Amino acid sequence: MEGMLGQVPSWMEDVAEPASEHSWGLFRDLNLGEDTELSGREKALIGVGVAAATNCPYCTYFHTEEARLSGVTDEELREAVNLAADTKYFSTVLHGNETDLGDFKAETDEIVEYITKRQAPADD
């Protein structure tokens, strides 16, 4: 931990002993690992969006600084937060109105099919 972060953060010391090694491994491998499908930049933007949506000031600060280390601009940070807010907003609408999940999936599949057809190159 010290080798990657320069210190053992005090909050990591608060993780109960049976889970401390496991928790560090998850954090290290998912957030800091380079052998993942997502780039550090992409992971940081996801982290910012999730942190904002869950209203966590700790995670918001951490992932914002992480994003800045990855070269994310202030405009990109704002967009990530707005996308998270948009998702949370519509999730509330869908859940609150008890939208049928099967119907929602069918409509989404129709939308994807429509967009896919529009993006296909025209036959000569």
Distance, CA of 14 to CA of 88 (rounded, Å): 30
Q: Tell whether 122 is covered by a domain.
A: no
Q: Tell whether 19 is covered by a domain.
A: no
Q: Tell whether 115 is covered by a domain.
A: no
Distance, CA of 29 to CA of 48 (rounded, Å): 18
**pLDDT, position 124:** 57
Mind giving me the DSSP string for 16-54? -HHHHHHHHHHIIIIII-SSSSS-HHHHHHHHHHHHHHT
**pLDDT, position 122:** 75
Say how many domains are in the chain: 1
Over residues 26-78, the pLDDT tens digits come to 878 877 777 889 988 999 999 999 999 999 999 999 999 999 999 999 999 99
Q: Tell whether 73 is covered by a domain.
A: yes
Q: Tell whether 47 is covered by a domain.
A: yes
Q: Tell whether 28 is covered by a domain.
A: no
Distance, CA of 6 to CA of 25 (rounded, Å): 16
Q: Tell whether 90 is covered by a domain.
A: yes
> To 5 degrees, how large is the angle CA 90–CA 31–CA 49?
20
| Contact indicator for 40, 70 with CB cutoff of 8 Å | yes
Torsion angle, alpha carbons of 86, 51, 48, 21, to 10:
-140
Per the structure, the complete domain to which residue 84 belongs is given by: 37-97
Q: Cβ neighbours of residue 62 under 8 Å, at least 6 residues apart?
A: 47, 51
The CATH number of the domain holding residue 45 is 1.20.1290.10
